[in-house]
Amino acid sequence: MAHSEHAATAHEEHDDHDHKPKGLWRWVSTTNHKDIGTLYLIFSCTMFFVAGSFAMLIRAELFKPGLQFLDPALFNTFTTMHGLVMIFGAIMPGFVGLANWMIPMQVGAPDMALPRMNNFSFWILPFAFTLLIGSIFVPGGGMAGGWTLYPPLSIQTGDALPMAIFSIHLMGASSIMGAINIIVTIMNMRAPGMSLLRMPLFVWTWLITAFLLIAVMPVLAGAVTMLLTDHFFGTSFFNAAGGGDPVMFQHIFWFFGHPEVYIMILPGFGIVSEIIPTFSRKPLFGYDAMVYATASIAFLSFIVWAHHMFTVGLPLASELFFMLSTMLIAIPTGVKVFNWSATLYRGSISYDPPMLWALAFLFLFSIGGFSGLMLAIAPADFQYQDTYFVVAHFHYVLVSGALFSIMGAVYYWLPKWTGHMYNMKLAKWHFWLSAIFFNVLFFPQHFLGLAGMPRRIPDYATQFADWNMVSSLGGFAFGASQLLFPYIIWQCVRGGEKATDRVWEGARGLEWELPSPAPYHTWAEAPAMATLDHGAPVHETHG
Amino acid sequence: MIKRNGHWLMVALTGLVAAVARVPVAHAAWTLNLTPGVDAVSRDIYGLHMLMFWWCVGIAVVVFGFIIYSLVRFRHSKGAVADTQLLHNTRVEIVWTLLPALILVSMAVPAARVLVEAEDTSGSQLEIRVTGYQWRWVYQYVGTNVTLISSLDRDSDQARQLDSGIDPFSVPNYLLNVDHPLVVPAGVKVRVLITGGDVIHSWWLPAFGIKKDAIPGYINEAWFAVDPDKLGTYRGQCAELCGRDHGFMPIVVQVVSQQDFQQWLKAQEAAMPPGSAPLTPEVGQPPLPTYAPPSPTTAPSPTT
């Protein structure tokens, strides 16, 4: 304890010497992990609203049968851009922002290992997304073949195709750099005594995620490069008439795409594994099992890709293999859910906003897991594939999974970042409105899919009218509720009740040993291990 | 008292439903579940779907029940004190790893059985080649010269234009009707050979439990054998995004008796333009039909 007080004093001294440039240049040239984390989070939030407004236009068109606002081609552009921008612009940078802020603070490192590359990997993104979103306005219209970019359809795109592909290359480069930085930081810059199995779960899940990113982003880059050469340079990778194979694209794409969906959920698992113990005032149940389950899920993600392709006419043996391997995922995922539940058991639970998001995650992500298990059953998938049942499934996993965990993380660590508590009442309103309208928005989509409504259609038969109207109303309310989020953050940045260093009574981990707000430079001197108490089995005595 | 409240709730709910739907309640479109379909495979799929559904419900009741119990029972505000020594329990952890594995096996066995059944296209008595184009379906009866070009019907097509001013509710089978439906006999194992002429489409008929992608360069197979007593019209849609009018290329199949089918097929053959070559059964030999000429066929009479 004496040691950590000493460390804190050292930081304050260092603060006086912190010579960051003022104004805009600070943000352009920064190599500070906290600044870059903030940039990522602001960017993510902006893209969340951009992609969200695409979703609002989609739901407006689907409010009732008939075409009221959007030409079908434009509708397809909005579904495509909604997917691409949410995945690559909102969710992934959101997690990277949290990683930038929290990983050095959680492992006791002074910064990320490669700070200049960190700056570069962020500043690529605004250009990548200007290019991608700008592609909507070029001759021939924006990308309209879905975020999966299946050829031959995607090859029919006009000038938007090379723009979107180059922007995907940029995003890939950014992600790979970010992932390298995270791996190097975690592997080399942990405080002495923090063995791998004493790392916080958020750090663990990000370490595994970063390996997934490095493994699959080049695969995506390869796939889209082949689209580019098919379109412009006369190759026939995916052109059947030239001896190519359109299905090969799907195999390559989903070899990237399935690990990609875990890239979007594993850090969320980490966040929930931080929040639930804090507000249960009890260490995480089964820490080791959680780590191994995460690693198993990551491994399995590489051998299940063709479950996205049960209807393409795979051989029977392939269908059986991918059905069985996909079902296996239920085991480690179940272990995680059971461990979180057991963490709650005999805890002392309080219901602050981060906990509410984590609990919504627990329930709603599980529902997404159930529909995922149903989708794994290949013959049943023949009926579900490419319907609104799938749309409902992946929104349960990605909205109430990935997005809710990011929301929870922001509400969890915001006082540490700003030094102020936020408006708890408003934050609870934000939570309850989101949780309720999320279900009004997406639950009926299960019914629509089962009743036979395909996804990615701008207009539908009249028997789908009722649930679509409910879903749209839920969508508008969900969208409007999100406006509270930047407002609450803005309020909290501007001022508010002073946050304590620990912020939450049950919070454990190195970041809570630092002052609130966390100084510009933290852990210039490695922390003492006595503070490492995040639920990992304690093998060593207090140093 | 409770009963009266319940009654009031029902009235309110019904009113709300009617108000939101803007259509008579008799419209009965608040469909919740999958169709069991009209052939053996689709019913088996429905059975699997319900099996999975009830397993999920059962697991959810147990897991969510445990979570909710913990959330209520161990509230900090009620003075709960955390048991910080509860870190793991090897026995429990083994159980909750192995038990799901056993449950999965109990799901996988029937699933594999249905999968094998669904993929067994052998022994068919009639073959139909289905080709997806942007944005219509072409059906060819193998061994005959009969070709149908099946496009969205005129009424739906007019109503679906941007700001057409036509109320979709006034169009029968809006977006689910075509000019020339596929006609098939009941009680016969029909093999469908599915391919794509330009981009990837997907031929989906929920009532038959079939969804197969129509991919250029590939010929995919599926089969169905509609129950002899399930004559009627069944509707589906393209299920793979195929461009601007992906939402406007429905699939309509008319199931008729074997006798009616033979008559209809003869009439069609006679009505085809002279010199049109029969499609031979050898897969891959006939050239892909090229879309462009208007449909030479006559619509099957709706009474068949």
Which pLDDT score is estimated for A446? 97
Distance CA A479, CA A494 (A): 24
C-alpha gyration radius of chain B: 26
Within 106-135 of A, beta carbons closer than 8 Å to B belong to: none
pLDDT score, position A532: 52
Looking at residue B6, its pLDDT comes to: 44
Mean pLDDT across B121-141:
96
pLDDT tens-digit readout, B176-199: 999 999 999 999 999 999 999 999
A11 is a catalytic site residue: no
The reported pLDDT for the residue numbered B88 is 87
Out of A71, A146, A335, closest to residue B97 by CB: A335
Please tell me which residue in A77, A121, A175, A531 is annotated as part of the active site.
Answer: A175
Which residue in A has a C-alpha nearest to residue B75's C-alpha?
A349
Please state the rounded mean pLDDT for residues B109-132: 96
DSSP code of residue B40:
H
Interchain CB contacts (distance < 8 Å): A and B: 303
- Picking from B38, B53, B84, B208 by the largest number of A CB atoms within 10 A of its own CB, the best residue to mutate is B84
Q: Are A204 and A291 in contact (CB under 8 A)?
A: yes
ipTM of the complex: 0.91
Q: Is the pLDDT of residue A7 over 60?
A: no
Is B153 within 8 Å of chain A by CB? no
Tell me which residues of chain A, numbers 269 to 298, contact chain B at a CB-CB cutoff of 8 Å: 280-283, 285-289
pLDDT of B228 > 50? The answer is yes
Q: Which of A473-477, B29-33, B40-44, B164-168 has the lowest mean pLDDT?
A: B29-33
- Quick one: pLDDT at residue A13? 46
Give the model's pLDDT for residue A17: 53
Residue B199: its chain A contacts at CB < 8 A?
Answer: 152-153, 156
- Report the interhelical angle of A465-481 vs A33-61 (nearest 10°): 150
Report domain extents, chain B. Answer: 36-79+102-120, 126-271
Counting residues of chain A whose pLDDT is more than 90, the rounded percentage is 91
Is the predicted pLDDT of residue A396 greater than 50, yes or no? yes
> How much is the average pLDDT of B85-97?
92
Answer yes or no: is pLDDT of B78 > 70: yes
Location of structure tokens 């219901």: A351
Interchain proximity B220–A66, CB inside 8 Å: no
Between these two residues, A11 and B259, which has the higher pLDDT value? B259
pLDDT at B23: 43
Per-residue confidence (pLDDT) for residue B138, from 0 to 100: 97
Residue B232's SS3 state is: strand
Q: State yes or no: is A147 an active-site residue.
A: yes
Catalytic residue at A273? yes
Please determine, for residue A84, whether its predicted confidence score (pLDDT) is greater than 60.
Answer: yes
Residue A523 confidence (pLDDT) above 60: yes
What pLDDT is attached to residue A93?
97
State the nearest Cα–Cα gap between A64 and chain B, in angstroms.
9
pLDDT reading at B90 higher than 50: yes
Cβ distance B163 to A67 less than 8 Å, yes or no, reads: yes
CA distance B73 to A462: 47
Each residue's pLDDT tens digit, B252-299:
999 999 999 999 999 999 988 777 777 765 544 444 444 443 444 444
* Banded model confidence at residue A382, pLDDT cuts 50, 70, 90: very high
- How far apart, in Å, are the Cα atoms of B219 and each of A380, B128, B141? 22, 12, 15
Is residue B16 scored above 80 in pLDDT?
no
- Is residue A133 scored above 70 in pLDDT? yes
Model confidence at A309: pLDDT above 60: yes
Does B204 score more than 60 pLDDT?
A: yes
Distance to chain A for B91, nearest Cα, Å: 12
What is the pLDDT of chain B when averaged over all its residues? 86
Region class of B275: left (phi > 0), else alpha (psi between -120 and 50), else beta = left
* Helical ranges in A419-526 per DSSP H: 424-451, 465-481, 484-494
Model pLDDT for residues A228-258, shown as the tens digit of each residue: 999 999 999 999 999 999 999 999 999 999 9
> B126-271 — its CATH code?
2.60.40.420
pLDDT of residue A23: 85
